[in-house]
Structure 1
Amino acid sequence: MSISRKIAMTGAFVCFVIGTSAVYGEEHQSGSDRPLCGPHRATILDLADRIISDRPQAKRFSQRHFGTAASYLKLRYDDLDFASGLDLMDRVQGGTQRQAHGLKDVRLAFAISKLGVVEGLKTDDRPAVEIFADFSPIVMRQILLADAGATFLELLAAVRSSPDLVKGFDARYFNGLGIHNWVVDQSDDFKLTLARNAEAAGELGVAAMVLGSRQDLSAYDALLERHQEQNLAKMAGPDKLSIYLASVNNQIAPVPVPGDDEESRQRRARYHEILRASFQMGGMAWLSILFNQTGAEGPIADASRDFLAEIEAGRLKPRTELDPAWVYLYGRLSEELGDENLNQQMTGFSLGKTVRHYADTAQTTLNWMIARQAMVAYLIETDTGLPSRPSALPPDFDWEAWTAAASALRSDKDDLPLGVDRTIFLELLLAKGDVTQAVELANKFLPPTDRLWFYRDVMIRLDHLCEGYTVFPGAELSMGGDILYRFDGK
């Protein structure tokens, strides 16, 4: 009996394509409008349960990477009440020596969403002012949304009055110039109310950047005008809006800076394009790392401009279809910078396994994506032959391993090809659409820590196709690719 048939018989066979545009819904649809969201829910919850159950098996120092995202998605998809949610998170933490990274913050944000800020913060043993001083984006966002920043500003004042807390806090707070990143998805009206509250409290940096993140910049201009004596423009003027990511979501071009000459305007425009592309690229903003390493402003801006055009035309959707988006961007960068130069630069930094379960150096990660994308048509169309080796792959990439694995999968052979990394086979199963089979093979063949990374990766990919609870505008840049866990609707 073939591999496919053996595994299909172990349970209900589910076939979802991950990585081909044919089954992806629109990026901003709600889950209820996506035809595959219903089936995906069951798979997401199954994977979350597997992660929670298997977490104690992970290597000791790896345990902290697992459990938080799984708990969060169970809280959201099962819409758990307060008591059930706390029981779940207690169970996740029990039985392991390592605290799941971020779980304490998720617990607090969940409590605030159910009980309000004051009562929610009481669920932690620490005083509210100490919790606030930790300055967790997850908790801060929940506090900000509760009453448009009123309680946030009260707690901020309390921290400022504590000599023991304020010194370390101020270094993280940095005049509030990053607060807007946690409410970037909110309406212009909400941002206006938040900014007015911040201005009244004397937090002009917060007010300026929040107003600078609106579509309508008239209130931002008026704020700068009102505070000319404080020289607010020096801290949060138009030249800072791109730098602090305030304008990259809603403004196609950088906000004009008075006194700029033509060369300065062009440089700002190129920098703005790179940041806009990084802001929208999904996963993790490695484009900005590449720019920082190379300083190749013109070529990277040109590639970014084309990348953004593809997104705006609807041909690329990085937050739901990461692989084709990154493969396209890599191809354009290769045209601009040259294969050898790009390969050398991309080998110089790594991407975390929160991006993909197989992630290593940025170049290795992109190699896998390029190979996978090349195989999609061969795997799902029976009249398509094996693809030629993609020219973007470096000479030392083992293309033969991918063709051997793809051929075995297509022909439904009884055994995996000898010497072929099983992770390649798993990724090709996902490309083909056999999620259930991939999960069962991972359960059978992968060591515990690798298996948990695989489960987590697939769970997050499916959420991106469904409700998108782990998607947040600009998190790939402002959060370094981390998830901004939230409890405020979609």
Structure 2
Amino acid sequence: MLRMLTGFFSLLLLSCLASPALASDEFCPQRETILAFSDIVLADWATFAPSAPYRYGAEAAYLKIRYTPLPDEQIPVLLANLLQQNKYASVDDLAGAWYLHHFGYKAIQVSAGAKFDQTFSGIGISGIRALLLQEGGEDVLMKHFAATPFMPLNDSGQAFTVEGGIVAAAIADQPDEFKERVVQAAEAHGLNDIANSVSASETDPLAWHRFMARGGAKDNLDKLTYYANFAGAMVGHPRVKAAKTLKEERLQRIMAGAAFEPQESFLQHMRAVDREDEIAARVAERLVLSMLDKGVVRRSGTMDAAWLFEYRAAVALSGRSAIETTFDSRPYDGNRYVRTSAVFTVRNVIDRLLAVETLQPYLTGEADTIPPKPEDLSNKIDWPRWTEMAAKVRDGAVSPILAADLETFGIVTELLLAKGDQEALRAFVQQAPSGEARLSVANDFAMRLARACAAYLYHPGEAFTLNGRPIFKFDTP
């Protein structure tokens, strides 16, 4: 068991040294649709404010900035308009990251004078990254956190809601020498929690042990070890100390596998299948091995292929009955899909992914007839309606009237996206009634389509470390 585990983590570690190749946005055929949907989100959100959900706006503004050569003077106006009405933390994070990247902290320091430190109040993961990537930024950030402790994102105590985990996640893609400078700055200001997580996230597995030898063990050892295991899993490391139980070993494998998942984690739901985590750990291993073998799942892609691969692996390992029983009652609170009821589960997500995958060859003309209902599809989905809409989408007979019904609107937009008919997709969404359904689809699809281009919103380990939260990077090409 130990040899197999070591080999698994060795493969993970080697793979984490390379980033996936991304397409340049200069050759992005989805650019027009990404921008059109971003504009819908920004316009609709402004129309509904202040009653509109705060979770919209930040990603759309970011994509607009990255995919449009906006003049520098227009970006502050865009951000200011969003900040005036939106209380969502991601909007503050976006604005902070852009200002830090564009002007640099030294210019902001000159402008702010004695109030300079106040500009970092509530700094988020994107601002943290933007500051750390500047020369001397690590000392500025650690001095701030030493004087004004970071407020956790919530009271869960989870590794990536506290300052150490957030700093480590923000710079997950940086080389060890960069991370080591952050570690040393954190230690110099007495911030062992940050030094602990960042040292554990270095690709050199001995970095954490060197940190501990310098005095990190004076703090709560159990707490430091707990957080170090999470940070290490982010880059493919096994536990920093030998596991006491088989379940602990499996959990580390699951966490390391989750760091490979794009967008949202399926493995977090798999842990509900069995209490000993055996199935989830085996699914994680199959996913990683498939990705290393250049299978259909891309780390910078959407979650679709990953979730279907993992679902089928889970069914093969545990049986359909056990998986469906778990997922039928497992709530899904991610960013996907038009909701037509208060209850929306992981099973609903799998059904939609299966339906789109099954109908796509028919939509694109690769198949002449509508395929039969997939065996894995549950009775929760209205297959006759999906096939009826598929025929309309294939024939180019989509009417704006179809958008009046929320369920049909959700089905048609998914099928138009699967067909690849972006002109029809844009027109259908643009002509749909204003409301949260249109807002959510435009927001979701803009982010999905961006994954096929420069994937600016992709970040290594995202499904494991960000939990659906965005990180806005302006340093990536």
Structure 2 residue aligned with 1:115, among 77, 87, 103? 103
Are positions 1:274 and 2:254 aligned together? yes
Are positions 1:347 and 2:328 aligned together? yes
Separation in 2 of the partners of 1:129 and 1:191?
Answer: 23
Are positions 1:459 and 2:446 aligned together? yes
Residue aligning to 2:38: 48
Separation in 2 of the partners of 1:93 and 1:205?
Answer: 31
**Where does 1:408-447 land on structure 2 (aligned, <5 Å)?**
408-413=392-397, 421-447=408-434
- Secondary structure at the aligned position of 2:380 is classed as coil
Separation in 1 of the partners of 2:250 and 2:374?
Answer: 30
Are positions 1:288 and 2:268 aligned together? yes
Question: Greater CA deviation, 366-375 or 205-214?
Answer: 205-214
Indicate how the Cα distance of structure 1 residues 323 and 125 shifts in structure 2: closer, same or farther if over 3 A, else same: farther
Separation in 2 of the partners of 1:128 and 1:60?
Answer: 30
Residue aligning to 1:398: 382
CA drift at 1:193: 1.3
Structure 1 residue aligned with 2:457, among 470, 474, 478? 470
CA drift at 1:125: 12
Separation in 2 of the partners of 1:171 and 1:121?
Answer: 34
CA drift at 1:209: 1.7
The answer to whether the 8 A contact 1:134-1:169 is kept is: no
The answer to whether the 8 A contact 1:82-1:111 is kept is: no
Separation in 2 of the partners of 1:458 and 1:122?
Answer: 41
Residue aligning to 1:155: 144
CA deviation digits over 1:216-274, x for unaligned, max 9?
1233222222327626754434x6533x2x122332x514525x56xx2x433311221
Are positions 1:31 and 2:18 aligned together? no
Q: RMSD in angstroms over aligned alpha carbons?
A: 3.5
- Secondary structure at the aligned position of 2:284 is classed as helix
Indicate how the Cα distance of structure 1 residues 128 and 387 shifts in structure 2: closer, same or farther if over 3 A, else same: farther
Separation in 2 of the partners of 1:182 and 1:414?
Answer: 43
**Where does 1:71-470 land on structure 2 (aligned, <5 Å)?**
71-80=61-70, 82-92=72-82, 98-99=86-87, 102-117=90-105, 119-120=107-108, 127-146=115-134, 147-159=136-148, 176-227=164-215, 230=218, 233-237=221-225, 240-242=227-229, 244=230, 246-251=231-236, 254-255=238-239, 257-258=241-242, 260=243, 264=245, 266-291=246-271, 294-315=274-295, 316-352=297-333, 354-357=335-338, 360-413=344-397, 421-470=408-457
Q: Which runs of 5+ in 1 are unaligned?
A: 1-25
Indicate how the Cα distance of structure 1 residues 288 and 192 shifts in structure 2: closer, same or farther if over 3 A, else same: same
The answer to whether the 8 A contact 2:348-2:380 is kept is: no
The answer to whether the 8 A contact 1:108-1:120 is kept is: no
The answer to whether the 8 A contact 1:204-1:232 is kept is: no
Residue aligning to 1:3: none
Letter in 2 for 1:373: E
Separation in 1 of the partners of 2:247 and 2:152?
Answer: 36
Indicate how the Cα distance of structure 1 residues 27 and 369 shifts in structure 2: closer, same or farther if over 3 A, else same: farther
The answer to whether the 8 A contact 2:361-2:367 is kept is: no
CA drift at 1:51: 2.3
CA drift at 1:358: 5.5
Separation in 2 of the partners of 1:372 and 1:275?
Answer: 29
Question: Greater CA deviation, 131-140 or 362-371?
Answer: 131-140
TM-score, length basis structure 2: 0.82
Letter in 2 for 1:445: A
Q: Which runs of 5+ in 2 are unaligned?
A: 1-17
Separation in 2 of the partners of 1:38 and 1:168?
Answer: 35
Separation in 1 of the partners of 2:285 and 2:277?
Answer: 12
Indicate how the Cα distance of structure 1 residues 343 and 469 shifts in structure 2: closer, same or farther if over 3 A, else same: same
Letter in 2 for 1:462: L
CA drift at 1:435: 1.6
The answer to whether the 8 A contact 1:376-1:431 is kept is: yes
Identity %, equivalent residues: 20
CA deviation digits over 1:119-155, x for unaligned, max 9?
4478899955455452522222222222351101111
CA deviation digits over 1:317-364, x for unaligned, max 9?
153142122112112223334334323332334334623455932221
Structure 2 residue aligned with 1:481, among 468, 473, 476? 468
Aligned length: 449
Question: Greater CA deviation, 473-482 or 329-338?
Answer: 329-338
Letter in 2 for 1:281: E
CA drift at 1:75: 1.9
